[in-house]
Amino acid sequence: MSKTAKFVISMLLVAALALSFGIGYNLGNRAFPDSAQGLESVEQAWNFIFNDYVDREELDASILSEAASGACWRYWMTPIPPTLMLKSTSWA
């Protein structure tokens, strides 16, 4: 291989490396959504369930809390998107 070809390949590799670091740096500096917004939505849903649910006497806060945290855990620990998962017939 000629010196010119080696030089061009080397420069392309250096440019690709610099570009990948630049993209990673810019993506790393993006602002993440405020987690308080998500918590407000959860609190709003929780209040709606306990204030406006038809059969309020049958609600059990510990069961709802466990189901919600289990759903979050399954969502984040699932290797495939939840929309592609098969529907489960049980809450377990």
pLDDT band at 16; cut points 50, 70, 90: very high
DSSP string, 31-62: PPPPHHHHHHHHHHHHHHHHHH-TTGGG--HH
Predicted structure pTM score: 0.39
Residue 87 is assigned to a structural domain of this protein: yes
Residue 70 is assigned to a structural domain of this protein: yes
Residue 74 is assigned to a structural domain of this protein: yes
Give the pLDDT confidence of 59-72 residue by residue, as tens digits.
Answer: 888 888 888 888 87
CA-closest candidate to residue 75, choices 38, 49, 48, 23: 38
Mean pLDDT computed over 19-43: 74
Residue 31 is assigned to a structural domain of this protein: no
Residue 38 pLDDT exceeds 60: yes
Written as one letter, the residue type at 3 is K
Q: How many domains does the chain have?
A: 1
Residue 73 is assigned to a structural domain of this protein: yes
Residue 10 is assigned to a structural domain of this protein: no
Residue 54 pLDDT exceeds 60: yes
Containing structural domain, residue 74 = 59-92
Neighbours of 86 (CB within 10 A): 5
